[in-house]
C-alpha cells in the first residue's frame, strides 16, 4: 500500500511518515499543493493524507483536480479546528474522511486502515488466500494455525498480491507499492523479493506466478 502525505508542517509530515512506515506502508511526503498535484497526477496512491492549508495550491484545489482526473485514491483530509466549511467542501469534493488538528496518532492509524480496506473492497481486517491469512491491522501472516515470520518488503509484496488474488499485478505497480520516492528499487530487486516469497509460501501450496511481460499473480501451487 502506498500513501502520500501532503503537509507543509515538516515536523508533522515527518512524524506521520515515520508512523505509517512503521506500520508497513510505503510513504512519500510533499510540502506544497503544486508538488502534491504533480505527483498525484503521475503516481497511483492508495491513500492521500491531505492538509487543506497547503502553500502554492490549497488542498481543496488539489482534491478538485484529483477527482477531475478521476483518481480513485482514498483521501483523508486534515483541517484546522473550527474549519467546518472547509471540511464540508472537502467531503463534497470527494474526500473520504477528515481529521481535525490536533489529532491522536492512534486514531489516524485506525482511520487509515479503514480507508485502505474500503478501497481494496474489504470489510474485515483479514484477507485470506488458500491456507494463508494476512491481518492488515497487526501486519501479521499466518498459515495452518502458525504465525509466519515475513520480512517487511515481502509482507508488502504479499499484501499487494493478496488484495488482487488471481489477478495479474504489473511489475511497475509492485515497485510503487514497495518503494518510497527515496528508494531506488529495480525490477531485478522485485524479482528477488518474488523468489523469496515463493520459497516462503511453498509449504502452504501457494506460489507467485509470472505473467511474462506483464507482472505477477498469486495462485495455488501445482500438486
Tens of pLDDT, residue by residue over 108-134, are 999 998 898 887 776 667 888 889 999
**Kind of pairing between the strands at 206-211 and 215-220:** antiparallel
Give the pLDDT confidence score for residue 176 in this predicted structure: 80
Contact (Cβ atoms closer than 8 angstroms) between residue 154 and residue 196: yes
Tens of pLDDT, residue by residue over 165-222, are 778 998 888 888 887 766 777 888 889 999 999 999 999 999 999 998 889 999 988 7
Beta bridge partners of 142: 133, 147
For 193-214, b/e burial (b = at least 16 CB within 10 A) is: bbebbbebbeebebbbbeeeee
CATH classification number, 2-119, choose in 3.40.50.1220, 3.40.50.2300, 3.65.10.10, 3.30.465.10? 3.40.50.2300
Average pLDDT over residues 69-75: 92
Instruction: Report which of residues 39 and 221 the model is more confident about.
Output: 39
pLDDT band, residue 142 (cuts 50/70/90):
very high
Domain ranges in the chain?
Answer: 2-119, 126-220
pLDDT value at 223 more than 70: no
- Per CATH, the number for 126-220 is 1.10.10.10
pLDDT band, residue 66 (cuts 50/70/90):
very high
**Considering the entire predicted model, what is its pTM?**
0.71
Amino acid at each position: 500500500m502506498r500513501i502520500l502525505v501532503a503537509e507543509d508542517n515538516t515536523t508533522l509530515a515527518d512524524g506521520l511518515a515515520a508512523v505509517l512506515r512503521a506500520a508497513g506502508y510505503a510513504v512519500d511526503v510533499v510540502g506544497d499543493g503544486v508538488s502534491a498535484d504533480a505527483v498525484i497526477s503521475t503516481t497511483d496512491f492508495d491513500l492521500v493524507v491531505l492538509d487543506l492549508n497547503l502553500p502554492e495550491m490549497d488542498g481543496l484545489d488539489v482534491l478538485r483536480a484529483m477527482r477531475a482526473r478521476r483518481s480513485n485514491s482514498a483521501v483523508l483530509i486534515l483541517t484546522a479546528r473550527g474549519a467546518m466549511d472547509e471540511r464540508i467542501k472537502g467531503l463534497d469534493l470527494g474526500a473520504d474522511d477528515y481529521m481535525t488538528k490536533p489529532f491522536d496518532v492512534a486514531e489516524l492509524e485506525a482511520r487509515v486502515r479503514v480507508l485502505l480496506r474500503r478501497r481494496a473492497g474489504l470489510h474485515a481486517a483479514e484477507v485470506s488466500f488458500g491456507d494463508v491469512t494476512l491481518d492488515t491491522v497487526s501486519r501479521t501472516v499466518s498459515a495452518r494455525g502458525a504465525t509466519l515470520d515475513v520480512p517487511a518488503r515481502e509482507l508488502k509484496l504479499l499484501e499487494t498480491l493478496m488484495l488482487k488474488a488471481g489477478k495479474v499485478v504489473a511489475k511497475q505497480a509492485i515497485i510503487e507499492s514497495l518503494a518510497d520516492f527515496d528508494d531506488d528499487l529495480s525490477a531485478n530487486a522485485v524479482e528477488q523479493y518474488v523468489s523469496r516469497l515463493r520459497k516462503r509460501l511453498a509449504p502452504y501450496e501457494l506460489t507467485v506466478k509470472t505473467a511474462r511481460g506483464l507482472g505477477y499473480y498469486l495462485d495455488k501451487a501445482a500438486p
